[in-house]
Amino acid sequence: MREALRRVIDPELGYNIVDLGLVYDVTVEDGGVTIVTMTTTTPGCPATNYLKTGAGEAASSVDGVEFVDVRLTYEPRWTPDMMTPEAKAHLGIGSQW
Protein backbone atom coordinates (compact mmCIF):
# COMPACT_ATOMS: atom_id res chain seq x y z
CA MET A 1 0.00 0.00 0.00
CA ARG A 2 2.75 2.45 0.90
CA GLU A 3 4.46 1.77 -2.43
CA ALA A 4 1.25 2.71 -4.22
CA LEU A 5 0.95 5.87 -2.13
CA ARG A 6 4.54 6.80 -3.05
CA ARG A 7 3.23 7.48 -6.56
CA VAL A 8 1.40 10.53 -5.18
CA ILE A 9 3.72 13.52 -5.53
CA ASP A 10 3.15 16.72 -3.59
CA PRO A 11 2.98 19.33 -6.39
CA GLU A 12 4.63 22.04 -4.30
CA LEU A 13 7.49 19.96 -2.86
CA GLY A 14 7.97 17.57 -5.76
CA TYR A 15 8.31 14.48 -3.58
CA ASN A 16 6.04 11.61 -2.57
CA ILE A 17 3.58 11.91 0.29
CA VAL A 18 4.87 8.84 2.15
CA ASP A 19 8.48 9.97 2.44
CA LEU A 20 7.38 13.52 3.18
CA GLY A 21 5.66 12.09 6.26
CA LEU A 22 2.17 13.11 5.19
CA VAL A 23 0.73 9.59 5.50
CA TYR A 24 0.17 8.85 9.19
CA ASP A 25 -1.59 5.48 9.01
CA VAL A 26 -3.02 2.94 6.60
CA THR A 27 -5.53 0.37 7.83
CA VAL A 28 -6.99 -2.39 5.70
CA GLU A 29 -10.14 -3.86 7.18
CA ASP A 30 -12.27 -6.86 6.24
CA GLY A 31 -13.76 -6.74 2.79
CA GLY A 32 -10.99 -4.59 1.37
CA VAL A 33 -12.02 -1.41 3.16
CA THR A 34 -8.94 0.79 3.44
CA ILE A 35 -8.54 3.85 5.63
CA VAL A 36 -5.70 6.24 4.84
CA THR A 37 -5.07 8.84 7.54
CA MET A 38 -2.96 11.69 6.27
CA THR A 39 -2.18 15.36 6.65
CA THR A 40 -0.85 18.25 4.62
CA THR A 41 2.13 20.45 5.37
CA THR A 42 -0.18 23.23 6.54
CA PRO A 43 -3.89 23.59 7.25
CA GLY A 44 -5.49 25.22 4.24
CA CYS A 45 -2.84 23.85 1.89
CA PRO A 46 -3.99 24.61 -1.68
CA ALA A 47 -3.06 21.06 -2.74
CA THR A 48 -5.25 19.35 -0.12
CA ASN A 49 -7.92 18.07 -2.52
CA TYR A 50 -5.28 16.99 -5.05
CA LEU A 51 -3.40 15.02 -2.40
CA LYS A 52 -6.52 13.40 -0.94
CA THR A 53 -7.77 12.41 -4.38
CA GLY A 54 -4.36 11.09 -5.36
CA ALA A 55 -4.07 9.05 -2.16
CA GLY A 56 -7.52 7.58 -2.72
CA GLU A 57 -6.77 6.65 -6.33
CA ALA A 58 -3.39 5.17 -5.45
CA ALA A 59 -4.83 3.09 -2.61
CA SER A 60 -7.68 1.93 -4.86
CA SER A 61 -5.14 0.57 -7.34
CA VAL A 62 -3.90 -2.06 -4.86
CA ASP A 63 -5.26 -5.57 -5.40
CA GLY A 64 -8.01 -6.49 -2.96
CA VAL A 65 -8.99 -2.92 -2.09
CA GLU A 66 -12.72 -2.41 -2.53
CA PHE A 67 -13.26 0.97 -0.86
CA VAL A 68 -10.94 3.75 0.30
CA ASP A 69 -11.65 6.37 2.93
CA VAL A 70 -8.99 9.11 3.03
CA ARG A 71 -9.15 10.95 6.34
CA LEU A 72 -7.41 14.25 6.84
CA THR A 73 -6.03 15.20 10.24
CA TYR A 74 -3.79 17.89 11.67
CA GLU A 75 -3.01 16.01 14.87
CA PRO A 76 -0.16 15.74 15.23
CA ARG A 77 0.79 18.77 13.21
CA TRP A 78 3.22 17.98 10.39
CA THR A 79 6.82 19.10 10.76
CA PRO A 80 9.87 18.55 8.54
CA ASP A 81 11.13 16.10 11.19
CA MET A 82 8.54 13.64 9.84
CA MET A 83 10.31 13.35 6.48
CA THR A 84 12.60 10.46 5.65
CA PRO A 85 16.30 11.24 5.26
CA GLU A 86 15.86 10.75 1.50
CA ALA A 87 13.11 13.37 1.32
CA LYS A 88 15.17 15.80 3.38
CA ALA A 89 18.16 15.28 1.09
CA HIS A 90 15.98 15.75 -1.99
CA LEU A 91 14.74 19.07 -0.60
CA GLY A 92 18.19 20.15 0.57
CA ILE A 93 17.24 20.13 4.23
CA GLY A 94 20.21 19.51 6.47
CA SER A 95 20.51 18.46 10.06
CA GLN A 96 19.14 21.80 11.35
CA TRP A 97 15.72 20.11 11.45
HSE-up of residue 31 (Cα within 13 Å, Cβ side): 4
Mean of pLDDT values over 52-57: 98
Q: Which of 62, 59, 76, 69 is nearest to 24 (CA)?
A: 76
**pLDDT, tens digit, 9 for 90 and up, residues 68-84:** 999 999 999 999 999 99
pLDDT level of residue 97 (50, 70, 90 thresholds): very low
3-class DSSP state for residue 3? helix
**pLDDT, tens digit, 9 for 90 and up, residues 7-22:** 999 999 999 999 999 9
